[in-house]
Amino acid sequence: MTLNRGTLFQLFKYAVYSLLTLNIFLFWREEFLAALVQHPGGVPWGSIFDAYAATIDTAAWVVLLLMFELETYVLEDRHFSPSVRWLLHGARFASYAFILFAFYGYVTNVIATYDVSVLAGVADLCALPVTEWSYAAGLDEYTVLTAENCRSVGTAGAPYYQYADLPALVDGQGLIEIQRLAWVDAINSIVWILIVVILEIDVRLQERNKLVGTVYRISNSSKIVLYAILFAAAVYWGIKGDFVDFWDAFLWLLAFFFIEMNVVEWRQEEQEAQEARAARQPSA
């Protein structure tokens, strides 16, 4: 059995979608381990979106991605009954709600990285009670201090900073890196929201055959700038060694490239259908 180029493309596309679904678990595992330090008594309901921002965000985006895939590729015009439209719009509305809550969680995380105080009188981590403190090795990454590793983390003799109400500390350079990563998370989140707003407008206009001319050019130009920002964020995560975030960003760029291709193909099909109808009309 041979597979043509179109079939291979679709298999690759859905493999990317599957890997993005797997990333929900990867982010959950990372945030679950961080929550053990940040919320040793258990995560209260009011802090769910702070503690699991990336997990909730990724899950909501996967649902939204599948809704776009259904609307721009899988379903044909004859399938769009009122009940199907309500289902698609309802799922998307719920996804957007969770995405906005996740963005709030990212902003809260940024604020939390600045809520620190100098840990006075501590220049040697080995002087601290071992197993009672953790060192912030990265954003949402903590290493429990032990007698074996207390000299291998942090900067000896440098001032250390304690996170508010947490038995977790970090040196000055580590704090700056964590704050930058938190900002990149928040910026990445809002840029994706802007992209999906533009894409929603594209889909609605395409449904009415109005995605043409200046509107089409402005849409494409705006998305090129926004995708460039997302690419820069992915490169930053790669440089900083945050593989999960880099891998996730790379997959999402691929996934929305597929959605963009769906819209382009849909637009071409509509234009060809209009030309065919015009050709069939008798000339005056």
Residues 147-201 have pLDDT tens digits of 888 888 877 777 889 998 888 899 999 999 999 999 999 999 999 999 999 988 8
CA 61 to chain centre: 7
Residues 220-229 have pLDDT tens digits of 899 999 999 9
In the chain, what is the greatest distance between 2 CA atoms, to the nearest angstrom? 94
Cα dihedral sign, 258-244-105-35: positive
pTM value? Answer: 0.82
- Residue closest to 216 by CA, chosen among 155, 159, 158, 268: 268
pLDDT at 283: 56
More confident position, 212 or 116? 116
